[in-house]
Amino acid sequence: MTLKVLAIDDSRTMRDLLQVSLTESGFDITLAEDGIDGLDKLEAAQPDVVITDINMPRLDGFGVIEAVRAKADYRATPILVLTTESSPAMKARARDAGATGWIVKPFDDVALASAIRRVSAV
């Protein structure tokens, strides 16, 4: 079965990059423009993996993680955060918020696919 990915990012460029990369890797991708939009699309998308940006209007990535984790069905869904920092502080913060892993921007197709493989049943 094709792995379903919900990718949330407020940047059009980043959404396009994710779409191109993930589609080429054979994932079924749903895009959302911010945290609220992402949560709105969560039920319909039924994602196997959630990828979310941190800095977003309306609801940021930490808010997304919290809200997703609060849903019984998605409590253990892998969530990867997109970040431009790879500092230990950032990682700790992402993990404390309940993230499964992270993808450091800029990412390439290989890094993205690897991150997804490490958290999901591809």
Q: Is the dihedral of CA 60, 112, 106, 30 positive or negative?
A: negative
Cβ atoms < 10 Å from Cβ of 10: 17
Residue from 8, 13, 46, 64 binding other proteins (CB under 8 A): 13
In this complex, which beta carbon is closest to other proteins, that of residue 2 or of residue 84?
84
Could you give the residue ranges of the DSSP H alpha helices within 1-122? 12-24, 35-45, 61-69, 88-96, 109-119
- Residue 90, SS3 per DSSP: helix
Residue 114, interface with other proteins (CB under 8 A)? yes
How many CB atoms lie under 10 A from the CB of residue 87?
Answer: 9
For residues 81 and 63, what is the distance between their CA atoms, to the nearest angstrom?
12
Least distance in Å: CB of 28 to other proteins? 18
Of these, 40, 71, 73, 86, which contacts other proteins (CB under 8 A)? Answer: 86
Q: Is 40 in the site for other proteins (CB under 8 A)?
A: no
Binding mask 63-82 for other proteins (x = CB under 8 A): -------------xxxx--x
Binding site for other proteins (CB under 8 A): 10-14, 16-17, 20, 55-57, 76-79, 82, 84-87, 91-92, 95, 98-102, 104-108, 110-111, 113-115, 117-121
